Structure formats: C-alpha cells, structure tokens
C-alpha cells in the first residue's frame, strides 16, 4: 500500500452535559453517527474519548485533556478529531480557536459531523461565528437552568448535591417522569449535629461552653467520625455551627462558582425540618461573635519583598514588616508590634532584609532540598496516610455492623408479628420499624460511599527516584539567573519564618510538600496552613 492510500487515523470525542448524562441519550447517538461518518470517509477509527456529564465552557475535563495531550505529542496517534458539532468540543469561541490551532500545529485537524468546514479563511470565519453563537446559547441556557433551580427551591424541593450532614434526600412527589426530592432528618447523623451544638452551648458536663477547637478535640478523642469516616476539622465544625439549614432555613444559590457571596436578592431560602431550634442557633452565633477567635490570615503573596506575610517575631508572634534607614538605603525586617506599641509591648529585634532573605533561601536550597532530608520529612506523612486508611476501614466496619444490627432487630420484630406477640396495627411498632429501616439503609449507603472514597483515594507512591528528581528541579528553579531567588518557589516550600536572638526557625507543611512532590500542587502554589516540618535535622520524628 502506498503512502497516498494510507487511511487517515481518526479519534472520536463524545460529550454530553450533566443533565443529558443522567439519561445517557446522547453518547450512543454521537458514537453511532461518528462511526458511520468515519466509515463513509474511509477513516481508520483508532480511539474514542467519552466525556459524560461535563460542561464545555472550560477545559477542566479529564478525557478532553487526555485527547489534547495525545493530539499534541509527536508523532500524534491520530490525524483528525471527529466531533458531532463544535459545541461538543468547546462552547467558548476563544478556547475553541486556541485548541484548534494547538492541534493544527501538530498536524491534527478538528472536523464536525454536522458542521463540515473547509480550511479557507471564509470557512474559518464561519466556524468562529458559530462558536460565538454556541457560547451565547450556553450562557442563555445557564440563565434558564438557574432560574428553574431557584423556582424548584422556592417550592421547597432539593436541587441535588450531597446534603448537609444530619440530612438525607428522599423522594417527595412525582410530577410526570420527574421525581421531586426533599431533605429529611437523617437519624444516623443528626445526633452528632445536636451534640456539636450542645457542646458549644453547655459543654460536656465537666467544662463550660466549648469553642470550636475543643469540640473538634472532643469528637476526635471519642472516635465520633464524620459522615465519610474521617476526623473532624475546625472548618467542618464551624460550618455546622453557622449553617442556617440546621434551624430549618437552607440557603440555595448563596455563592457563585468562584465561591463569592451573591446578593441577598439572589438567595432562595428553602424550608427544611430543623435539627435544632432557632433560639439555640441565635445563641451560638452570638457566642461565636463574642469569642472572635484569631484566624490565620491569608498569606500575603503580592508584597514587594520575598518574606512578606511569612516572617514573624518569635518573642510576641507578631508580623515583621519592612523598615528603612539612611533615607531608604538600608532595609530591615522589624517587629510590627514593637513599632506600633513601643518596646514595652515587645523587645523584638530588627534584621537586615537581604541577609535574612539569603539565609532562609540558602537553607531551603542547601538543607531541605536534599533527597535524604526529604525522605525523612515525608516518612511520617506517608505513615499517617496509612493510618487514615486503617481508620476509614474501621469506620466502614462500624457502619456495616450498625446496618446488620438494625436488620437483625427488624427480623426479630417481624418474627414477633408473625407469632402474634406484637400488633402490626400499633402505631408505635410501625414507627419503630420505619426507624430501624432508615438506620439500616443509611448505614449501608454511608458504608458504600466511604468504601468508594477509600478505593478511589489511593495515594500516588512516592519513590526515591521521584524525590531526587524533585529536589534537583526545585534547586534549579528556586534560583534566578541573576543570583537571587524566585519568591513563589520559596513560598511553596516554607510558610512561616520566626526570628529570635541568634536563631531563625523555618516552618512548613509536610502534607503540602508531599502534594507538590506528587504533582497535585504546582511548586508555584502558596500553602496557607499546617506548619509541620522544622529547620533542625533532628526535629522530625523518625
């Protein structure tokens, strides 16, 4: 066979939106049409990429990225990408053109079954115009969808997603083929929510009112797990204590996709069964406001100096800020508490800026970014991950045990009914049976969900080769060509620097370091909390 008769290799890209994916109506049809299209034109179909339930307004799609990665490798495994329409590929005209050109640079062409186009300027313009219409239609559809969801919420129905802990989703009514759902109290976890509120208001009987941190410690020390079998954190408990859902008012459409608060006029309050009363909720809000706990501020990442937002005075814990001398010729890090309140508040020292910057960066470069040191630091994190896995398995076993116990109790009740010992028409008996069924079903569902999370959370193995490669790359990238240091790279490795007389303590997060190492976070990312590793070689447990 000569080169001229070699068939073009084709890849199919199939995508449907979330609503379509639920009914699986579009993927088989796209696949059938795509295969027929390739057969009619003599294309050799080499691979199919299927993206169920994904929006085309952005590129955060696993199969899309896998296709682009394959299409831009040299040599590419296929010559054309076949889609049902350009809107299956992208609904953003700029992004569509970006990826079309990216593939074209590697000799890969994008073709549409329903919108066949040539390569001349007029057809390119037509494709761009159609992409603009697709983008407009996508935005209009989004407006209609949110309008329908808000109306559904106004009628008291649940729009989907995982409900707040303490609630579960149940079918409420049938409207044609559509099943409307509502929230009801989950008997398996509602008691945990009530306990959290009671601890905040009354304590545990031996202490007075408990703060969020103490509640977290109380729950974890008594092995009261979260819904997914994990340990409680400050953020989770605080969200429960401040969520209006628990007093019967669930707020829908409160935040945008970027997590920004929406105007009050856009928020829909959905009535749900309350787990705690309004008086208790209002009292807790007043307590939280009165306590006004200090929270770690967001890291300053836009300041002009390398250690802005990271450096603190070891004597008082206050931030150290820039001070100048000799008309700006000399720059120092100095304690802000001492500068504002005088030496009676803190006797903190001042340190030349360039000297401290070089000291911190050189230490990270020369000490932390050594393979042997990294392996020692990360050993405890990997051990903790294994411990978390064991704890999850223990939680799953406990859930299964609850489900089994409830099932056995149900069987005993059924046996009593059959034997004539219990009256089947007794309302109390019926409530008891319904309650045991609810606990059994919820425990089984939670066990399945926790098992699925455990199965899908397999941590990427960190090998000595990965550690060495990471250390070499990070040492190269932290340096600037002129001899200075890259500020963002440094901040990905260290999150707090404390300065004392004759000592500088550099602290960072082992978990974040592992994330950077395993590729889950860019080395440019700036971690914001969790200070675990220290400067000294013997400060980490072996």
Residues in the chain: 542
**What pLDDT is stored for residue 275 in this prediction?**
93
* C-alpha–C-alpha distance, residues 137 and 243, integer Å: 35
Question: Looking at the structure, do residues 52 and 120 belong to the same domain, yes or no?
Answer: yes
In-domain check, residue 372 = no
User: Distance from CA of residue 269 to its chain's centroid?
Assistant: 25
Phi, psi angle pair for 208, to nearest 5°: -80, -155
Residue 244 lies in a domain: yes
Q: What share of the chain is helix, strand, coil (3-state, %, to 5)?
A: 50, 15, 35
The torsion angle over the Cα atoms of residues 26, 27, 33 and 36, rounded to 10 degrees, is: -160
- Residues forming a β-bridge with 183: 169
From CA 335, how far away is CA 76, in angstroms rounded? 58
- Does 506 map to a domain? no
Examine residue 481 and state whether it is found in any structural domain, yes or no.
no
Closest CA to 270 of 162, 148, 155: 155
pTM equals 0.42
pLDDT per residue over 232-270, tens digit each? Answer: 888 899 999 999 999 998 888 777 766 777 787 778 888
pLDDT, position 237? 92
pLDDT of residue 442: 81
Do 46 and 11 lie in one domain? The reply is yes
Token pair listed for 503: 């000592």
Q: Tell me, what's the pLDDT at 360?
A: 83
**What is the residue range of 230's domain?**
167-291
Kindly state whether residues 69 and 172 are assigned to the same domain. no
Judge if 186 and 105 occupy the same domain. no
Note the pLDDT tens digit of each residue in 525-535: 433 344 445 54
Closest C-alpha among 216, 514, 217 to residue 375: 514
Query: Whole-angstrom Cα distance, residue 435 to residue 445?
Result: 15
What are the two backbone dihedrals, phi and then psi, of residue 18, each rounded to the nearest 5 degrees?
-60, -45
Q: What is the CATH number of the domain that holds 95?
A: 3.40.50.1390
Asked if 79 contacts 108 with a C-beta cutoff of 8 angstroms, the reply is yes
Q: Which neighbouring-strand residues pair with 485?
A: 479
d(Cα 516, Cα 490) in Å, to the nearest integer?
Answer: 12
Which segments of the chain have a pLDDT < 70?
1-4, 17-25, 53-60, 91-94, 117-124, 126-144, 257-258, 291-305, 326-328, 380-385, 456-463, 479-489, 491-492, 510-512, 514-542
pLDDT tens for 341-353 read: 777 778 877 888 8
Return the structure tokens found at 332. Answer: 């120092």
Instruction: Give me the number of domains the chain comprises.
Output: 3
């Amino acid at each position: 066979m000569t080169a001229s008769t070699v068939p073009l290799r084709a890849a199919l890209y199939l995508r449907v939106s979330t609503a379509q994916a639920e009914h699986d109506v579009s993927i088989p049809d796209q696949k059938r049409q795509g295969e027929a299209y390739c057969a009619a034109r003599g294309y050799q179909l080499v691979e199919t990429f299927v993206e169920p339930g994904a929006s085309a307004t952005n590129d955060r799609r696993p199969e899309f990225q896998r296709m682009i990665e394959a299409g831009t490798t040299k040599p590419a495994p296929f010559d054309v990408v076949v889609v049902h329409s350009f809107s299956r590929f992208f609904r953003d005209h700029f992004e569509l053109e970006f990826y079309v050109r990216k593939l074209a640079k590697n000799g890969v062409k994008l073709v549409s079954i329903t919108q066949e186009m040539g390569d001349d300027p007029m057809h390119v313009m037509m494709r761009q115009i159609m992409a603009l219409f697709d983008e407009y239609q996508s935005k209009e559809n989004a407006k209609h969808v949110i309008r329908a969801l808000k109306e559904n919420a106004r009628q008291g129905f649940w729009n989907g997603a995982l409900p707040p802990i303490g609630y579960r989703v149940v079918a409420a009514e049938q409207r044609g083929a559509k099943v409307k759902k509502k929230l009801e109290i989950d008997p398996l976890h509602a008691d945990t929510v009530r306990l959290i509120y009671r601890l905040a208001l009354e304590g545990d009987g031996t202490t007075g009112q408990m703060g969020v941190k103490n509640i977290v410690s109380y729950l974890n020390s008594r092995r009261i797990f979260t819904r997914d079998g994990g340990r409680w954190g400050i953020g989770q408990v605080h969200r429960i204590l401040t969520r209006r859902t628990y007093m019967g008012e669930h707020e829908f459409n409160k935040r945008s996709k970027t997590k920004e608060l929406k105007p009050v006029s856009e928020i829909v309050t959905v009535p749900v069964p309350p787990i705690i009363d309004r008086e208790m909720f209002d009292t807790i809000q007043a307590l939280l406001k009165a306590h006004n706990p200090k929270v770690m501020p967001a890291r300053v990442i836009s300041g002009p100096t390398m250690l802005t937002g990271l450096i603190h005075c070891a004597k008082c814990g206050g931030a150290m800020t820039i001070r100048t001398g000799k008309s700006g010729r000399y720059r120092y890090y100095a304690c802000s508490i001492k500068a504002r309140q005088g030496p009676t508040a803190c006797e903190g020292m001042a340190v030349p800026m360039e000297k401290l910057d070089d000291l911190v960066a050189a230490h990270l470069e020369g000490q932390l970014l050594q393979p042997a040191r990294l392996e020692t630091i990360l050993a405890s994190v990997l051990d903790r991950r294994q411990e978390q896995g064991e704890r999850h398995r223990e939680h799953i076993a406990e859930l299964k045990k609850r489900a089994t116990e409830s099932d056995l109790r149900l069987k005993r009740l059924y046996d009593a009914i059959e034997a004539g010992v219990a009256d089947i028409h007794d309302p109390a008996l019926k409530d008891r049976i319904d309650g045991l069924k609810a606990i059994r079903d919820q425990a089984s569902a939670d066990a399945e969900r926790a098992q699925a999370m455990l199965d899908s959370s397999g941590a990427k193995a960190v090998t000595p080769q990965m550690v060495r490669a990471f250390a070499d790359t990070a040492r190269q990238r932290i340096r600037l060509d002129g001899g200075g240091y890259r500020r963002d790279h440094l901040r990905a490795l260290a999150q707090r620097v404390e300065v004392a007389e004759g000592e500088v303590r550099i602290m960072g997060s082992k978990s974040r370091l592992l994330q950077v190492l395993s590729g889950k976070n860019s080395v440019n990312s700036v971690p914001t909390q969790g200070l675990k590793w220290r400067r000294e070689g013997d400060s980490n447990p072996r």
